[in-house]
Chain A
Amino acid sequence: MVAAPGSARIEIHNVAGHPAVGPRPREIELNTADLSPTLHAEGDSLFHIPTLDEFFPEALLFAGTPFEFNRVQLVRLIMIAVVLIVLCIIASRAKLVPGRAQSIVELIIEFVHNGIIKNTLGLKDGMRFAPFLITLFVFLLTMNIAGVIPGLNLAGTSVIGLPLLAALWTFVVYVVAGVKKRGFAGYLKHETAPPGLPKPIYLLLVPIEFLQVVLIRWASLTIRLLANMVAGHIMMVVFIGLTHGLLFSASWLTVISPFAGALAIGIYGFEIFVAGLQAFIFTILAAVYIQMATADEH
């Protein structure tokens, strides 16, 4: 976009010595001190295209074991530790007349009640799923928002583990809710064979609906969240890196760098919005799936 006219000048190719060094966290590569030696080096790239390596940094602890701990896990650990501690403090001091912090937490709970449960399950039937949905929403919001927190810069949901587990949890919840209500066969019939259609249609419909229930729903939840977070992170890295590269290009391209910077800030703001939006979408879809499993009529 902004880079298009200047892309010929910004040489994009491999850094000569890089593969030997191995993948490094992007945050270090974005560091001025780290980048400056290569800035004026002829043939070195001014601007690194972010790759998937961003999401698979090298291990910090227990390398090679099933407990390999890398930067992504560190980000997640920090986020849940901070959020849980803060929430525990707020919860243990919860008063009838709320303070500021308590009001904010209650606002989130009320938002899930009124914005999600009320519109899908109805407040009367839906309240037994409220703990699950609120937990899911707060968890995803926590993990998504990590992507825009300076210093962390990586959403906990931008690597597949968390989105997948959250989606599978949702899957278990709605299947269990449906089976509890109708029994196993009754639930399958309810979800896959809506009444009132001509017989031959069922040959086509039943397999599709079955696949939908057992695979597509949770897979789409996973991929939607993951892809949004991955794309958001890559976009931010691209625009921040571009701004940086343009600013230090020591040519007329420096003039363009404020525009790229403005765009980077815009995308940063957009990512804050996306973090909330994706948590909301995930949670409301979970509520809709529960509603589909437990609804009396189609």
Chain B
Amino acid sequence: MILAEGEQTVPSWRLLVPMPQEIVWSLIFLVIFALVFMKFILPRLTAVLDERTEKIEGGLRKAEQVQEQVDQLKNDQEQELAAARQEAASIREKARADGQKIVDEARARAEAESERVLAAGRQQLSAERIAASTELRSEVGTLASDLASKIVGESLSDDERSRRVIDRFLDDLESSQTTTR
């Protein structure tokens, strides 16, 4: 309406109906643009984009792997540590047992030694006592018979009888000694 009032010199149908020159130039521009864009620009850019995606994915995967490795290592280490701790504990235990054993052995040996020393002493003592008593017996016999002969004033010719007397005397002496002890 108002447009029709204007200074329009081009028929309105030309808005929707392309002229040959319009098609020709549009086609040239479209083809040039599409060719350059699709053959050069886009491949380069998508290559870079893909490369980046790959890099990021690769990086993520690698990080995951490294994390896994770290976990594995940590696990191993912990296991080793636990094993080492256990071993240390067992070694300590064994050492303690060994020590105990050594102490026991030493004690046993010492006891045996003291026992032996004691026994030897006792033995020696009894031997000495026996020797002493034997010696004493003969000496005391002689002394007593001498004394008796002196006291009686006569030699007791009968040896048989005098020995019997002496022995009885000594036995009495011994028994009286044991009762007094």
Cross-chain contact B37 with A138 (CB below 8 angstroms):
yes
Cross-chain contact B29 with A80 (CB below 8 angstroms):
yes
B3 CB–A CB distance under 8 Å: yes
0/1 string, B1-41, CB within 8 A of A gives 1:
01101111110101111111111111101101110111011
| Interface pick from B45-53, B70-78, B134-142 | B45-53
One of B23, B25, B41 near A76 (C-beta < 8 A): B25
Cross-chain contact B6 with A51 (CB below 8 angstroms):
yes
One of B22, B37, B38, B51 near A160 (C-beta < 8 A): B22
0/1 string, A83-124, CB within 8 A of B gives 1:
110011011101110100010011001100000000000000
Residue of B nearest to A21 (CB): B7
B107 CB–A CB distance under 8 Å: no
| B14, B26, B45 — most chain A CB neighbours (10 Å) | B26
Cross-chain contact B26 with A164 (CB below 8 angstroms):
yes
B residues in contact with A225, CB < 8 Å: none
Given A84-B33, A96-B48, A166-B30, answer yes or no on A52-B10 (Cβ-Cβ < 8 Å).
yes
> How far apart sit A73 and B23, CA to CA, in the bound complex (Å)?
11
B92 CB–A CB distance under 8 Å: no
Range for the number of chain B residues in contact with chain A: 35 or more
Closest CB of chain A to B85's CB: distance in Å? 49
Cross-chain contact B18 with A160 (CB below 8 angstroms):
yes
B residues in contact with A266, CB < 8 Å: none
Given A13-B5, A84-B33, A138-B37, answer yes or no on A95-B25 (Cβ-Cβ < 8 Å).
no
B55 CB–A CB distance under 8 Å: yes
Given A96-B51, A166-B30, answer yes or no on A161-B9 (Cβ-Cβ < 8 Å).
no
Residue of B nearest to A63 (CB): B21
> How far apart sit A134 and B38, CA to CA, in the bound complex (Å)?
9
Closest CB of chain A to B47's CB: distance in Å? 8
Contact sample, A vs B, 8 pairs, CB 8 Å cutoff: A50-B6, A51-B7, A84-B36, A88-B36, A88-B40, A96-B51, A135-B37, A169-B34
Besides the contacts A161-B25, A162-B26, what 20 more A-B pairs have beta carbons closer than 8 Å?
Answer: A14-B5, A23-B9, A50-B6, A51-B6, A52-B3, A69-B21, A69-B25, A77-B29, A91-B41, A91-B42, A94-B45, A96-B55, A106-B49, A109-B46, A110-B49, A138-B37, A164-B18, A164-B23, A165-B30, A223-B16
